[in-house]
Amino acid sequence: MSLLEIRNLDVRHGLLQAVRDLSLSVEKGETVALVGANGAGKTTLLRTVAGAHMPAGGSVVFNGIDITTVPAYRRVGLGIALVPEGRRLFGQMSVEENLVLARSAGRRGDWTVEHVLDAFPNLKPRRHAKAGNLSGGEQQATAIGRALMTNPDVLILDEVSLGLSPLAVDRVYASLQSLIGGGTTIILVEQDLRRAMRVADRIVCMLEGRIVLEGKRGEISREQVSEAYFGLGSDKGRVHA
């Protein structure tokens, strides 16, 4: 049984259909990178899995439980943590307070404030700083740390590198590598294909609300992704590399 099974998902934003009849399974311990142009539906898909957006059709099954209509806060309790685009930290609260807050999910596990600070050493000297005063890279690390504090079964990261300096992105990815090594299941959106291909077991390319290409790392080429990304292939159906 897959950890996460998305079946025939349709998601709308008012008149606009952002995700169209999309199915995707994610196995335990897998790292999946979603790529795709602006408006492809990546963020909507992630938000729907996290419960921040309700679908118009289809279902989301997690750990064998149909969670399609389960509200977001209860999904955190079931083990789904989203690091949203733009981080969305509590700016007036300290790094530590942001991290401790996530304990309210009530899930048992290894993640403590100390453990997060070990995973993101650049946060150690910033522990008591207000989240609103942090650099972009420190904020992203705090947001990931906050998600980890819920001891999730799946960690969902939207736009990991957006707005970060190359150095900050390197730091975040170095920390992600240690999570991946530890067996955490991760779904991430990454615009930089090189980084996505380094970190993910599987690349999934979306176009206009659908998956148009997916394949395992090493079995999928940059040229294939580029063609699928722009919709330049002759066949618009889903391609398995």
Q: Which region, judged by CB under 8 A, interacts with another protein, from 23-31, 124-132, 180-188, 195-203?
A: 195-203
Q: How far is the CB of 136 from another protein (least distance, A)?
A: 15
C-alpha torsion sign, points 120, 124, 125, 126: positive
- Indicate whether 232 belongs to the interface with another protein (CB under 8 A): yes
Q: Which is nearer to another protein, 96 or 190 (CB)?
A: 190
C-alpha torsion sign, points 37, 53, 196, 200: negative
Cα–Cα distance, 214 to 216 (Å, whole number): 7
Q: What is the identity of the amino acid at 78?
A: L
Among 91, 219, 230, 240, binds another protein (CB under 8 A): 230
Q: Which is nearer to another protein, 171 or 195 (CB)?
A: 195
Q: Which is nearer to another protein, 4 or 196 (CB)?
A: 196
DSSP assignments along 150-219, one per residue: T--SEEEESSTTTT--HHHHHHHHHHHHHHHHTT-EEEEE-S-HHHHHHH-SEEEEEETTEEEEEEETTS
CB contact at 8 A, 148 and 98 = no
CB contact at 8 A, 140 and 165 = no
CA 144 to centroid of chain Cα atoms = 10
Count of residues that interact with another protein, criterion CB under 8 A = 25
Structure tokens at 138: 């420190």
Q: Which region, judged by CB under 8 A, interacts with another protein, from 45-53, 80-88, 91-99, 190-198?
A: 190-198
Q: Which is nearer to another protein, 57 or 109 (CB)?
A: 57
Q: How far is the CB of 52 from another protein (least distance, A)?
A: 20
Residue 54 is classified by DSSP as -
Which x/- pattern over 146-185 shows residues binding another protein (rule: CB under 8 A)? ----------------------------------------
Among 8, 104, 135, 226, binds another protein (CB under 8 A): 226
Mutual angle of helices 136-148 and 166-181, in 10-degree steps: 20
Q: Which residue has the tokens 């279902």?
A: 59
Residues 1-60 interacting with another protein (rule: CB under 8 A): 15-18, 35, 37-39
- Indicate whether 202 belongs to the interface with another protein (CB under 8 A): no
The phi, psi pair for 71, rounded to 5°, reads -70, 160
- Indicate whether 128 belongs to the interface with another protein (CB under 8 A): no
Q: How far is the CB of 103 from another protein (least distance, A)?
A: 35
Q: How far is the CB of 100 from another protein (least distance, A)?
A: 34
- Indicate whether 193 belongs to the interface with another protein (CB under 8 A): yes
Q: What residues line the site for another protein (CB under 8 A)?
A: 15-18, 35, 37-39, 191-195, 197-198, 207-208, 222, 225-226, 229-232, 236
